[in-house]
Structure 1
Amino acid sequence: MTTPLSPTQTPRLLLTRPQPDDLAELFALHADPDSWRHLPSGRHRTREDTEQLLRGYEQSWAEHGLGAWVARRRGGPEDGALVGVGGCSLRGGVAWNLYYRLTPACRGQGLAQEIIAAALPAARRVRPELPVVAYLVEHNTGSKAAAERAGLVLRWRGPDAGNPDPDAVRLVYADRALAPAVLESFTG
């Protein structure tokens, strides 16, 4: 029997599979313009946007036994407070997409690294043959630094297809070399 992947604890966080009761807080996070300062077009405008995101997380959990977690503080005066969301979800059946989005107040505290430190071994335990990929915009230096601290290596740099900003550049970091089809699933 494998160890359950939810809930998962890190030194400061409780990581749980998203639940319907998380919707209001996750919508507030994803609707906050400061949460999307690096990709304003990604901001959620309606609760339905966040509901769709949660359905994707639930589908990953149901089909693959792993998806993004809701991250909350554990212990101390802020016990249970939302920190953000993050983890690995299967993308197109070809790679784990490493994702992390923190509330603005929680950035710069190493909390993304705690989520990543739990997500990487979880993905490798569930489907070790698949690469772990972080897909980010180049000017998001915090996300770039988090991917590099996690040991991911830059595998591709190029135009960000579909971004309303024609000057936007995408970076693809991964834990191994990527087959052309995998790279295409992120950049095409």
Structure 2
Amino acid sequence: MSDWRHLRTGRLWLDEPVQDDLEDLHRIHADPDSWAHFPQGRHLDLARTQRTLDASEVEWTHGLGYWSVRDSTNGPVIGMAGCAVVADRPWGNLYYRFDPAARGRGYASEVAEAAVEAAHVVAPDRPVMAYLLEINVASRRTAEKAGLTLVWRGPDAGNEDPDAVRLVYLDREPDAAIRAAVDEHFTPRPAV
């Protein structure tokens, strides 16, 4: 497959986000329950969700990005998920965020598995990464079901919760260059 902008899984319709998805994506990203483990990530205004949608358009120019997720062709967007392969990162970023009403059905795992498979085709030399908070057990399970394993654990730089712990999962054992990039990206910097 050369165009991953539209993919069908067993139960889901995965499509490159379009402007018509903005209201549904904002509803999901603005919902406090969607950000229970990281409240500062919540989208407080439509402009922030628009920036996410605009960034998605750029990500897709590299062959893969985050999809708008529907459980039928005509249904509302119930999530945003996928794997973004961006030029300035040596890994593909696995992401999944769903409407709280759609959780508990295995949708995140279904999309995550499809996204990892797509990333292996689009950028086979690039590892797939999921980074998440240790307290988010459901997200950890999703990453693990998608075949990722824990490779880094440490304080979550910039998190308003000083006790927050960040976990980094990869789909393969990191080589020295990837390990150095992970350390550089996720290790908190001392205040200057």
TM-score normalized with structure 1 length: 0.92
Deviation above 6 Å: which 4+ runs of structure 1? none
2:22/2:50 contact within 8 Å kept: yes
1:26/1:50 contact within 8 Å kept: yes
Query: What stretches of structure 2 of length at least 5 have no aligned partner?
Result: 188-192
Aligned equivalents of 1:138 and 1:45: distance in 2? 24
Query: What stretches of structure 1 of length at least 5 have no aligned partner?
Result: none
Matching of residues 150-169 of structure 1 within 5 Å = 150-169=146-165
Matching of residues 14-25 of structure 1 within 5 Å = 14-25=13-24
* Offset at residue 58 of structure 1 (A): 0.9
* Offset at residue 150 of structure 1 (A): 1.3
1:135/1:186 contact within 8 Å kept: no
Give identity over the alignment, percent.
48
Aligned equivalents of 1:137 and 1:164: distance in 2? 13
Q: In the TM superposition, what whole-angstrom CA distance separates every residue of 1:108-155 from its partner, at most 9, and x where no partner exists?
A: 111011101210111111110000000000000000011111111100
* Aligned amino acid, residue 181 of structure 1: A
The alignment's C-alpha RMSD in Å is 1.4
Matching of residues 41-120 of structure 1 within 5 Å = 41-62=40-61, 64-74=62-72, 79-91=74-86, 92-120=88-116
Aligned equivalents of 1:186 and 1:97: distance in 2? 13
1:71/1:82 contact within 8 Å kept: yes
1:95/1:182 contact within 8 Å kept: no
SS state of the match for residue 115, structure 1? helix
Residue of structure 1 equivalent to 2:190: none
Bigger CA drift: 178-187 or 90-99?
178-187
Residue of structure 1 equivalent to 2:2: 3
Residue of structure 1 equivalent to 2:34: 35
* Aligned amino acid, residue 80 of structure 1: G
* Aligned amino acid, residue 9 of structure 1: R
TM-score normalized with structure 2 length: 0.91
* Offset at residue 185 of structure 1 (A): 5.4
Aligned equivalents of 2:114 and 2:21: distance in 1? 20
Report the number of matched residues.
183
